[in-house]
Chains A and B, each alone.
Chain A
Amino acid sequence: MDNTAKSLENGNALPPDLAGVNDEIPYEELSIATPGQLMWWKFRKHRIAMISVVVLAIMYFMAFFAGFFTPYDPNEFDASYKYVPPMHITFTDENGDFTWRPGVRGLIEERDPETLRRSYNEDPDTWYPINFFVKGYEYKLLWLFKTDIHLFGLGEEAGEQPYFLLGSDRLGRDMFSRIVQGGQISLSIGLVSVFLSLLLGIVLGGVSGYYGGWVDNLIQRTIEFIRSIPTLPLWMALSAALPPDWPQTQRYFGITIILSMIGWTSLGRQVRGRFLALRNEDFVLSARLTGARDMRVIIRHMVPSFTSHIIASLTLSIPGIILAETSLSFLGLGLRQPVISWGVLLQEAQNVRTVALAPWLMIPGLAVVMAVLAFNFLGDGLRDAADPFNR
């Protein structure tokens, strides 16, 4: 008789190591569940992490299909609509009657007679409904299919009147379109850079923990050295050294490599710690005794036993990378126009007078905060779930 059946028969309460997984799952299922199932159940219990998954999924989905979600070409400028504030959505049409269709008022341009500064007011006598699946500028969906269908926009009757959901910038470009487009860079740079750090961290941390001795010493001192230099100034100096005549894609990868060259250290430490703990386990010894080569022992036997922890700490290191890219681009050392990332967008908000005039230029910062928060919560949930058994 195996253990599960025995404890079922005795009608025992949950063994202490399963108590913290998830109260809603019946005991019979808990006791025979695979580790994967246990992790999923435990993760599901972390409400905020679940919400974060949805938030991140929406953000990445929008960035991936950016062309579809942007009503206007993010790089198209219109000199007659500079610094237009975010436009309100109204449900009352031009006659003041209630409708179920969302719409916007037309804009009237006014000039202050003294400062000659332009301002825009909403004209209560006009009303343009917001249409869905409208024709707009032409783009390539998934970089492949040419189309001009966009999720929303104003119909024919609006004429030249654009709809700025989140306002427009100093060149009359649509902020909403630019933020969605910028997500493509800002959200992907975190993933790519974390992937590179993972490679470095696993290889160097693994070698360090598996072999020990002077190799370990050397790698650990290197990590300590890298971590003793102030991170941001070092990032700044390295990105400033990238040749200015590099094309933008090359620059993107240059920045990614710089970020991961410094970012791998904490991951490397964790991997090393795990290796040190596992090195003397019986299953590793037996694998070695059966004649498996070092690489095989590492990849087949040791790595699988801590992948869940690695995934959790990877998730927790993405926010740092996103923040770093944003800071560098904000300072003008990272990515540059015409490439759009959230940091590049925030560069427009560098001057406090501009911000006072057009506070909506700070909205890309909100996108950054949302992404970073969501990744932090998700990482927290994953870290709890990575260890489904109560400590």
Chain B
Amino acid sequence: MIQFIIRRTMMAAATIALISVVSFIIIQLPPGDFLTSYVATLSQQGDTIPEEAVTALREAYGLGEPIYIQYYKWISGVVQGDFGQSLEWGVPVNTLIWDRLRMTLAVSASSILFVWTVAIPIGVFSATNQYSLADYFFTFLGFLGLAIPNFLLALILMWIGFSWFDQDVGGLYSPEYQNAPWSMAKFIDLLSHLWIPMVVAGTSGTAGLIRTMRANMLDEINQPYVETARAKGLSELRLIWKYPVRVALNPFISTVGYALPELIGGVTIVAVVLNLPTIGPLLLRALLSQDMYLAGIILMLLSILTVLGTFISDILLAIFDPRIRLE
């Protein structure tokens, strides 16, 4: 077990290192270096920057030096918590992201919970009642959930809320709690807004997992051990949940690693439509205005979040199913 955890940790670390390289490449992709455009923006606003300051900055970021030295300077800053300057906002990237990252985490985590609590029971039900009316209904719903783009669903919900209930469903807080300090009331207000992005971002994931769960269950449900348990007189409900469901969950858990990147992507676009204070809208603005230091850091943090999530699910899986470790 310890060996397994060590190996996984090393792999996760290597992946994170590679992710930092990719993020750096993306920062470098737009033509021209960032300082030139930074100075251009500032002088557009009527600011004049002393030549020495520019040279000092040029020195600090290693611009004009070979690319690997630039990367080294950038990454040593990042490791120490210096994420560089946001071009558009004129403040350190640091001050912009942490609150929003926390919100992203909250929305993503609640989305995962939603997906799991909905997909597993429905998948099991669909499999035990194969070809029933409800099974067809859920299958149809599943296909539809996969086919509707997240942002369209968000848009439709907003539209319904706006035109029929005269309620603005965007955002995470009601206006009166926007700047209020944390309190129980604010938390409840947050929960009452959170369910929409949670459901919207979780829809396609739920649809996919219902299908996986149903297929896995169908493979298990006719196995002899199920028959044995039934012959012994176990009640149907206990029988299903105690044996085949546990086996069917295994391939399910191992695909969580792939579901996570998609979910975080989904949350990103839903947040743009619903105008949530998460990191998605910030990323979009940064990309549209070519504010690459901000964009690169956000991409990197989102990826690291994903890698950590996958890492945790791998470890959990290994604890629950000893067979995994042997592979």
Contact = CB atoms under 8 A, between A and B. Distances in A.
Range for the number of chain A residues in contact with chain B: 35 or more
Contacts of B151: 327, 330, 346
Interface in B112-129: none
- Say whether chain B's binding surface is mostly helix, strand, loop, or mixed: helix
Contacts of A237: 26, 287, 295-296, 299
Nearest to A236: B287
B191 interface: no
B261 A231 contact: yes
A342 to B, nearest CB: 10
Interface in B12-57: 15, 18-19, 22, 26, 29-31
A236 B284 contact: yes
Given A230-B268, A376-B146, A356 B287 contact: no
Given A237-B26, A241-B29, A326 B149 contact: yes
B205 to A, nearest CB: 13
B149 A365 contact: yes
Contacts of B78: none
Contact of A359 (B29, B159, B266): B159
Nearest to B283: A233
A185 interface: no
Centre residue among B149, B151, B261, B273 by max chain A CB count within 10 A: B149
B20 to A, nearest CB: 12
A51 interface: no
A228 B310 contact: yes
B268 A233 contact: yes
A365 B148 CA distance: 8
A355 interface: yes
A352 to B, nearest CB: 5
Contacts of B144: 369, 373
Contacts of B227: none
Contacts of B93: none
A160 to B, nearest CB: 32
Interface stretch (B68-76, B83-91, B237-245, B301-309): B301-309
A231 B15 CA distance: 15
B284 A228 contact: no
Interface string A147-189: 0000000000000000000000000000000000000000000
A323 interface: yes
A262 to B, nearest CB: 10
A228 B256 CA distance: 11
Interface in B125-163: 143-144, 146-152, 155-156, 158-159, 162-163
A234 B299 contact: yes
Contact of B158 (A228, A330, A352): A352
10 contacts: A230-B302, A233-B283, A237-B26, A241-B30, A319-B147, A333-B284, A355-B158, A368-B147, A372-B146, A372-B147
Given A227-B258, A234-B299, A237-B287, 16 more contacts: A228-B19, A230-B261, A230-B303, A232-B265, A232-B266, A232-B269, A236-B268, A237-B26, A237-B295, A327-B150, A346-B151, A352-B155, A362-B155, A369-B144, A372-B147, A377-B143
